[in-house]
Amino acid sequence: MVEPAVLLLLALIVGILVFVLLKTKKISTANSRLSKNDGPVEERTRPCPLCGTPLKRGEKVKTVVYSVKTDTLAEVYGCPYCYGENATALRICPVCKKPIAEDGYVIGRMFKEGRHLHVLGCTGCRKRR
């Protein structure tokens, strides 16, 4: 028969091995979680339709919407970077590719409950038609 001291020693060794294996697994899973998230989280951005500056969540493009019978027209003035007092970016018309006047805006037709805008031109190129 096996001595009780030997059984106790074997149980102690097995317990230590199980403890070490569990600790190592916890450390490796913690490191794998850290390695996935160690860089800055990239925020989805949308570009301004006039200046192309990426807009973060909460930054909006100033737009005035008019509903006319069957059509919805919109005047797009720009984002905080290209329209207003602190504007630094240049507003470019997506149609004629020319700079938009300081008091100008882009005219567009709006679809899908304000989710899609078809640009018709700016106050400069739209007047010539």
What is the 3-state secondary structure of 10-30? HHHHHHHHHHHHHHHHHHHHH
In the three-class reduction of DSSP (H, G, I as helix; E, B as strand; rest coil), residue 117 is classed as strand
In the three-class reduction of DSSP (H, G, I as helix; E, B as strand; rest coil), residue 107 is classed as strand
Name the phi and psi angles at 71, rounded to 5: -115, 150
Asked whether residue 44 carries a pLDDT value surpassing 70, the answer given is no
Residue type, 84: G
- Could you read off the pLDDT of 4-17 as tens digits, one per residue? 888 888 889 998 88
In the three-class reduction of DSSP (H, G, I as helix; E, B as strand; rest coil), residue 83 is classed as coil
Task: Tell whether 33 and 52 lie within a shared domain.
Answer: no
Range of lowest pLDDT (9-18, 33-42, 77-86, 117-126): 33-42
Domain count, the chain: 2
The C-alpha atoms of residue 32 and residue 10 are separated, in whole angstroms, by 33
pTM (2 d.p.): 0.61
In the three-class reduction of DSSP (H, G, I as helix; E, B as strand; rest coil), residue 106 is classed as strand
Task: Tell whether 36 and 66 lie within a shared domain.
Answer: no
Task: Tell whether 78 and 123 lie within a shared domain.
Answer: yes
Task: Tell whether 11 and 67 lie within a shared domain.
Answer: no
**Domain coverage including residue 26:** 1-40
Task: Tell whether 30 and 56 lie within a shared domain.
Answer: no
Contact call for residues 35 and 45 (beta carbons, < 8 A): no
Asked whether residue 37 carries a pLDDT value surpassing 60, the answer given is no
Task: Tell whether 24 and 75 lie within a shared domain.
Answer: no
Task: Tell whether 35 and 89 lie within a shared domain.
Answer: no
Asked whether residue 77 carries a pLDDT value surpassing 90, the answer given is yes
